[in-house]
Chain A
Amino acid sequence: GEDVEQSLFLSVREGDSSVINCTYTDSSSTYLYWYKQEPGAGLQLLTYIFSNMDMKQDQRLTVLLNKKDKHLSLRIADTQTGDSAIYFCAETQTLHSGGGADGLTFGKGTHLIIQP
């Protein structure tokens, strides 16, 4: 079945770059996603990448996709205290055989800890 793996913690200094890594198993995933969960809140979609792309950049965020190795990464440039959160990698999951109701399989989440 589908499985998404990511490390549980990452600690970086304020101002440095953070790189959060993820591996996935479902090679048929057309999109891969990064969600962010701030303390005491639900998850919010941060960004996503189409599987025929290698890279996507959005301001301080860069997503890299290595489809051959099934490896996804999220780079946050100039990490700030407001980036402190749990980051979840996710891939598409087929939930309903009738189609059109696809869900997401989430990794366990990486806690990003910012050191002053």
Chain B
Amino acid sequence: DVKVTQSSRYLVKRTGEKVFLECVQDMDHENMFWYRQDPGLGLRLIYFSYDVKMKEKGDIPEGYSVSREKKERFSLILESASTNQTSMYLCASSLRVAVPPIQQYFGPGTRLTVT
């Protein structure tokens, strides 16, 4: 059974702290994604990675960075957490396919609260 795991389900951090969110997939997928989910705004792509050490910005990369040192692990970093980064963070992975359909597999999410 395919699996995407995220390091924490709930996280509370203070403004200005450096925050690491970890995501691991066991499916040998090339692509990995970080989204944030907010009520009324749906899913917005923060960053994605299509290979080890490769990353590209999504729609809302400001205030975030990412790291992909190993194929199975994709980390999201908040360099200096702010209250407007309070959100649900979802990680996903998928095979790199030349032709759709595309299936993204999602982790359970991390609910981050910044106080």
Residue count of chain B within 8 Å CB distance of chain A: 29
Partner of B45, one of A8, A96, A100, A103: A103
The stretch among B64-72, B77-85, B103-111 that forms the contact with chain A is B103-111
Residue count of chain A within 8 Å CB distance of chain B: 27
Given contacts A92-B102, A95-B56, A108-B40, contact A102 B45 (CB under 8 A): no
Question: A29 to B86, alpha carbons, bound, how many Å?
Answer: 33
Question: A43 to B90, alpha carbons, bound, how many Å?
Answer: 9
Given contacts A41-B109, A42-B108, A43-B106, contact A100 B100 (CB under 8 A): no
Given contacts A42-B4, A42-B106, contact A92 B42 (CB under 8 A): no
Tell me the nearest residue of chain A to B9, going by C-beta: A40
Flag if A42 contacts B92 (CB, 8 Å): yes
Partner of B96, one of A8, A48, A100, A108: A100
Most buried by A among B98, B102, B103, B109: B102
Residues of B participating in the A interface, judged by any CB pair closer than 8 Å: 4, 30-31, 33, 40-43, 45, 48, 50, 56, 58, 90, 92, 94, 96-104, 106-109
